[in-house]
Copies of this chain bind each other. A is one copy, B any other.
Amino acid sequence: MKFGLFGSAQAKRGGGPDVDSAKGYHDWLEFNIEAEALGYHSAFAVEHHFTGFGQVSATINLLTYLAAQTTTLRLGTAVMVLPWHNPVLLAEQAATLDLLSGGRLDFGVGKGYRYNEFEGFGIPMEEAGERFEESLDVLIRAWTKDEPWSHKGKFWNFKDIIVEPPTIQKPHPPFWMGAGNPKTIDGVAARGCNLLLDQFAPVKVILERIEMFRNAVEKRGRIFNPNEVGVARGLYVAKDFSDRDSAIERRIAARARVDNLAQRPDGANKSSIMSYDDTAETAMEAALFGTVDEITEKVSKLREGGVRYLLLSDGGSGIEGLRKFSREVMPVFIDSDTAEAAE
């Protein structure tokens, strides 16, 4: 199995002159630099805007700084929200990261799901799907065409352009897409993209989605590679049960805050990421919150269901949690992979 990370740095504004507003970003960088040394495979960072609590907005820039401080870590976006970006400028920025990092970019893309972000940018949320499709087409051409090309679309026009610099990964960095229902999962397979599954879905739902994706890939005559499905999960390595239970409570409160940012005034945001129940029981089931033994058992269950690539989101146990996980949980699953390969 492979274990990556998924999360956000934090830099809130308006803290006054005594507050080191860069600390959250530098802490996140240190965290990921050590994670690389501990054997983690990747760092995926979110893109969000106008949160009021300082989530990362310029994701590719932050990853570019991390690129300069690491050598093997894959650098992922989870996800860049295409409807908000000029696709050619985005292609240039992402290619620059891929080039500078020696081909380590994993390019997660999405349509966006938070209402307040679309409102903020003055872009109707209803256009998200069409904007996403148009931008994806432009991105692929920007990365693959060596001769001048033009584009006349609904939202963007480009004329006789060659987009520079080139990416290192050919034909282009892998695309990763979130999806949560049969139609969207089939769309990811149709595009030949990798799949990101969210951190709140129950395990049963995750395993069903992997199965759907496998079928969608295989019915197109391709070989399904389980490394091409990244499953996000919250991680909290608890000292004991009571420590674990407090962490679960904090997790539920944090999620309610994000749901408020995402919801539309009419309550009509039907994004699958907002459709799950959110109780201590469901949170405990979905998240890797618990003692080392409990977490090992949860990872085991995911592995048996076909999960090979976990993206861990720190639920508060911080770098010490990552260290424990890498020492006490990872080796169990690296051994089991080796045993399987030897069979």
- Residues of B contacting A95 in the complex (Cβ-Cβ under 8 angstroms): 58
- Residues of B contacting A50 in the complex (Cβ-Cβ under 8 angstroms): 160-164
A92 at the interface (CB under 8 A from B): yes
Of the stretches A61-69, A202-210, A272-280, A324-332, the one at the interface is: A61-69
Question: Knowing A60-B61, A99-B21 touch, does A164 contact B51 (C-beta < 8 A)?
Answer: yes
Contact with B along A72-104 (1 / 0, CB 8 A): 000000000000111011001101110110100
Contact with B along A111-143 (1 / 0, CB 8 A): 000001001111000000000000000000000
Q: When chains A and B are docked, how far (Å) is the Cα of A88 from the Cα of B156?
A: 18
- Residues of B contacting A119 in the complex (Cβ-Cβ under 8 angstroms): 159-160
- Residues of B contacting A21 in the complex (Cβ-Cβ under 8 angstroms): 99, 165-166, 168
Most buried by B among A21, A62, A96: A96
A57 at the interface (CB under 8 A from B): yes
Question: Knowing A58-B93, A61-B64, A62-B100 touch, does A121 contact B158 (C-beta < 8 A)?
Answer: yes
- Residues of B contacting A221 in the complex (Cβ-Cβ under 8 angstroms): none
Q: When chains A and B are docked, how far (Å) is the Cα of A196 from the Cα of B52?
A: 35
Question: Knowing A49-B161, A120-B161 touch, does A100 contact B57 (C-beta < 8 A)?
Answer: no
Tell me the residues in window 193-245 of chain A with beta carbons closer than 8 Å to chain B beta carbons. Answer: none
- Residues of B contacting A157 in the complex (Cβ-Cβ under 8 angstroms): 122
| Band of interface residues on A | 35 or more
Q: When chains A and B are docked, how far (Å) is the Cα of A21 from the Cα of B92?
A: 14
Contact with B along A165-205 (1 / 0, CB 8 A): 11010100000000000000000000000000000000000
Is B99 within 8 A of A89, CB to CB?
no
- Residues of B contacting A68 in the complex (Cβ-Cβ under 8 angstroms): 65, 68-69
Is A120 within 8 A of B61, CB to CB?
no
Question: Knowing A14-B146, A68-B69 touch, does A57 contact B22 (C-beta < 8 A)?
Answer: no
Least CB distance, A49 to chain B, in whole angstroms: 7
Is A22 within 8 A of B85, CB to CB?
no
- Residues of B contacting A162 in the complex (Cβ-Cβ under 8 angstroms): 13, 50, 52
Is B65 within 8 A of A11, CB to CB?
no
14 A-B pairs with CB atoms under 8 Å apart are: A11-B165, A13-B166, A21-B166, A22-B100, A49-B92, A49-B161, A50-B161, A50-B162, A54-B164, A57-B92, A58-B89, A85-B89, A116-B160, A120-B160
Besides the contacts A50-B164, A85-B86, what 18 more A-B pairs have beta carbons closer than 8 Å?
A13-B162, A13-B164, A13-B166, A22-B102, A25-B99, A52-B164, A54-B165, A57-B96, A57-B164, A58-B165, A61-B96, A61-B100, A65-B67, A65-B68, A68-B69, A84-B89, A85-B89, A120-B161
